[in-house]
């Protein structure tokens, strides 16, 4: 900006130039904050340096790189997530099982994946499954890394163990057991670590609460 003082001694030909230069400089300065096309105040497009004593409120913020020296977080609104699938599974019945009847044991390798009739089977397509202990359960999913959580229905009348097939292979089978008295305080999350075209998936405990045994 040209800070030349206008006075009675200023040459008349210089006056338009000084005024125009100052007008252009002021217009460029205002363009940083003011969008003349829509008539609103805008924030600077580029900001550098340390900005002190500023406060603001943002609805959505997208940040490529963020460095925070000190963080003080205050929640103005309380957001809670509703896990409706968990509630629906817990309150719902066990109606998604199938019982194979064409073969009787895990030793029949002519059918794959093998589904022994000693288990009721579920295709894992939901994040939660609620099980009773009146039958044993096997789970099918050929996606390695698939996980789901088992909830144990402790309202059933029988006092038997809950039994879940974890792995079937040529070397034998592994089952996960939960005692009836532990059902009300136990959950288990399983994840597939491998899949065999003949015997199906191998499940591993990813996280749990309560007591269980595998044998």
Question: Is the pLDDT reported for residue 207 higher than 90?
Answer: yes
- Residue 33 near residue 42, CB atoms below 8 Å: yes
For residue 22, tell me if it sits in a domain. Answer: no
Q: CA-to-CA distance for 30 and 34, rounded, in angstroms?
A: 6
For residue 10, tell me if it sits in a domain. Answer: no
Six-digit token string for 122: 């579920």
pLDDT of residue 169: 82
For residue 37, tell me if it sits in a domain. Answer: no
Question: Is the pLDDT reported for residue 190 higher than 90?
Answer: yes
Residues 6+ apart with CB under 8 A from 101: 117
Q: CA-to-CA distance for 98 and 121, rounded, in angstroms?
A: 5
Outline where the chain has alpha helix (H): 14-31, 84-91
- Residue 126 near residue 90, CB atoms below 8 Å: no
Q: Which residue range is the domain that position 134 belongs to?
A: 84-214
pLDDT of residue 149: 95
Q: CA-to-CA distance for 14 and 8, rounded, in angstroms?
A: 12
For residue 98, tell me if it sits in a domain. Answer: yes
Q: CA-to-CA distance for 37 and 43, rounded, in angstroms?
A: 15
For residue 43, tell me if it sits in a domain. Answer: no
For residue 188, tell me if it sits in a domain. Answer: yes
| Residue 113: cis peptide before it, omega within 30 degrees of 0 | yes
Q: What is the pLDDT of residues 62-121, one digit of tens each?
A: 788 877 777 776 766 666 778 888 888 888 766 556 766 444 455 444 455 777 778 888
For residue 139, tell me if it sits in a domain. Answer: yes
For residue 2, tell me if it sits in a domain. Answer: no
- Total count of domains within the chain: 1
Q: CA-to-CA distance for 20 and 14, rounded, in angstroms?
A: 10
Mean pLDDT, residues 201-213 taken together: 95
Six-digit token string for 86: 């968990």
């Amino acid at each position: 900006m040209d800070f030349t003082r206008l006075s009675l001694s200023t040459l008349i030909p210089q006056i338009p130039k000084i005024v125009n230069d100052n007008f252009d400089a002021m217009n460029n300065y205002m363009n940083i904050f003011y969008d003349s096309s829509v008539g609103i105040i805008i924030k600077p497009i580029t900001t550098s340096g340390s900005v002190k004593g500023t406060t603001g409120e943002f609805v959505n913020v997208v940040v490529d790189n963020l460095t925070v020296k000190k963080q003080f977080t205050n929640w103005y609104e309380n957001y809670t997530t509703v896990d409706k699938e968990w509630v629906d599974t817990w309150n719902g019945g066990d109606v998604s099982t199938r019982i194979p009847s064409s073969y009787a044991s895990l030793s029949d390798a002519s059918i794959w994946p093998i589904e022994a009739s000693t288990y009721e089977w579920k295709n894992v397509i939901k994040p939660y499954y609620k099980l009773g202990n009146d039958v044993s359960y096997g789970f099918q999913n050929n996606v390695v890394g698939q996980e789901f959580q088992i909830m144990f229905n402790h309202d059933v009348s029988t006092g038997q163990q809950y039994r879940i097939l974890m792995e079937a292979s040529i070397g034998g089978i592994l089952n996960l057991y939960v005692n009836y008295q532990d059902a009300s305080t136990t959950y288990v999350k399983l994840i597939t670590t491998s899949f065999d075209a003949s015997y199906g998936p191998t499940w591993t405990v990813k996280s749990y609460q309560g007591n269980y045994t595998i044998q």
